[in-house]
Amino acid sequence: MNRTTKLLSLAVTAAIAFSGLAQAKVSEQEAARLGKDLTPLGAEKAGNADGSIPAWTGSILGVPEGLTYEGDGAELPDPYADEKPLFSITADNMSEYEDRLSDGQRALFAKYPDTFRIDVYPSHRDFAIDQTIVDRTKWNATRTEMINGVEGIQNWTGAAAFPIPQNGYEAIWNLRTGGVNMHTSKGVLDVVGVFSNGTRNVLTQKYDSRYIYNNPETPVGATEKELGAVFFNNFTTALAPANDKGQMHMVADPIDYTVGKRLVYTYVPGTRRVRQAPQVSFDTPSGPGGILTTDDKEGFNGALYKFDFKLLGKREMYAPFHNYKLAQFGMDYDDLLPANHVNPDYVRYELQRVWVVEATLKPDHRHIYGKRRFYIAEDTWNPVATDNYDGRGELFRTSMFASVYHYALNAYWRSISMFHDLRTGQYVAERLTTKQGKELLARAKAKNIDFYTPSNLRRMGRR
């Protein structure tokens, strides 16, 4: 195995106990590394030994010179559209590259040897991050702490809570707070289930979210004391298929699961009633075909207490990155979403450094996953892949998360997620806007908190 791609050992406290975790804020001296040998988000600025991962420059903020972007909601132009793959990985040559592949990627080669492919392009680390996000991250570094074991955080002002993580729990909190799409956004998107025979189930949703901590108008330094205890609010309305049209769902998550719980309310037009769901969390089936768990979405979401999360270190990995082609408008689902997996012609991979977190189910808890492995991009805190194993240790589900640099945010944005069930041959592609001809508004103005209430859900259902 190449020395630069070995899993790097970290001096993390062994056998972390649920209630004995060290608090997470770092010293002023350690935080001063941000923007120096570390990027503003906590990644290593230096490239790797052979230059296949370049040094981070942060030389481009916003739209690169020569590209035309019509603003939030418009299609994102591809800054690397003229690049060709450096090489392609197939089932035939996979053994040459397997030390830079996840277990899930290797499993996809084994299951679909004739069609699955990874096209590897040059790696890029040139985009800078919005100054507000930089300021939030630096503020958090010396102030944010986990509380009540690992289930909550305090003194957090948006963006990555722990840019210099000391353990697996902090890295997962970073995925939840600093990666993914933790910005108030709205629009229309598709979630598509593709079955083993190639048939598709398309769910079209109107989506409206509220992430008040990361709103541009929220001042740096505002925490739960000013902003309240709600981590996020989501409101979705089904537009298609016809059987689901008009169904509405409202979700609110706390920032501390020991003093609050996830609230889910549903309106079904046939009954004209609003009902509170008893429990939508952990391994509750989700998505077309039910091949996702509720806590699969966005890499991981929800309470952490069922698993022991261990930070294994970093490794180099071929990860979906800068996937503008995959998110372009107007594509036919027959071409983009064939049986087995997304069409490889549209997926761009780059060699990137990722944090690796392994979660093991605690003996006194139940979940369909006995072990989980998370691969989190060091430059963005977005997940790039997850591998999920059953109670016998056998891999049976794997996912990959594509991302782009979003010019309205000046930050990285998760575009399309791909969830695979290796036993059934089904997969789900989530967060597609290609048929809508309009990207989600990434800097939407936050609605008042009263919009995300059961009473408003009831009023909207009666219109």
Output the pLDDT for position 21.
53
342-384 pLDDT per residue, tens: 999 999 999 999 999 999 999 999 999 999 999 999 999 999 9
- pTM of the entire structure? 0.94
Amino acid at 353: R
pLDDT for 386: 98
pLDDT of residue 281: 85
| Confidence check: pLDDT of 426 > 50 | yes
pLDDT band at 445; cut points 50, 70, 90: confident
How does the average pLDDT of the chain come out, rounded? Answer: 92
Least confident of 94-103, 171-180, 337-346: 171-180
The pLDDT of residue 14: 35
Please tell me the predicted confidence (pLDDT) of residue 304.
94
Give the tens place of pLDDT for each residue, 47-69: 999 999 999 999 999 999 999 99
Share of the chain above pLDDT 70, in %: 94
pLDDT, position 25: 87
For residue range 267-315, what is the model confidence (pLDDT) as tens digits? 999 888 999 988 788 999 998 889 999 999 989 999 999 999 999 999 9
Q: Is the pLDDT of residue 181 over 80?
A: no
pLDDT exceeds cutoff 70 at 13: no
Give the pLDDT score at 84: 98
